């Protein structure tokens, strides 16, 4: 998959953490989510078809809500 060359920061919920979780729009219209890596092997084993070149991150409900608001214009 082609990697983006630029990111636009779209939001970080007020979680009291230093910039995580956050989400971004890429220069080609896709999105990037930043969060804590999912590292627990027994939980990772539950991921559906997650190849080695992909990863899973944990985000807060606040970030999920913020993504919906920013993407759809809906209110929280």
Residues of the chain predicted below pLDDT 70 = 15-18, 75-76
Residue 2 domain-assigned?
Answer: no
Residue 55's pLDDT is 92
Q: What is the count of structural domains for the chain?
A: 1
Residue 17's pLDDT is 58
Q: How far is CA 27 from the centre of its chain?
A: 16
* pTM of the entire predicted model: 0.76
**Alpha carbons 3 and 19: distance in angstroms, whole number:** 22
Residue 42 domain-assigned?
Answer: yes
Structure tokens at 63: 């970030």
Question: Residues 56, 47: contact at Cβ < 8 Å?
Answer: yes
Residue 58 domain-assigned?
Answer: yes
Average model confidence (pLDDT) for the chain?
87
Q: Provide the 8-state DSSP code for 10.
A: E
The Cβ-side half-sphere exposure at 60, using a 13 Å CA radius, reads 14
Residue 21's pLDDT is 87
Residue 1 domain-assigned?
Answer: no
**Alpha carbons 59 and 65: distance in angstroms, whole number:** 11
Q: Domain of 21? A: 7-72
């Amino acid at each position: 998959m082609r990697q983006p060359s630029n990111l636009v920061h779209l939001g970080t919920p007020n979680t009291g953490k230093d910039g995580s979780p956050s989400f971004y729009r890429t220069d080609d219209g896709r999105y990037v989510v930043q969060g804590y890596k999912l590292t627990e092997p027994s939980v990772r084993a539950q991921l559906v078809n997650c190849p080695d070149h992909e990863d899973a991150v944990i985000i807060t409900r606040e970030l999920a809500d913020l993504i919906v608001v920013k993407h759809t214009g809906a209110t929280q």
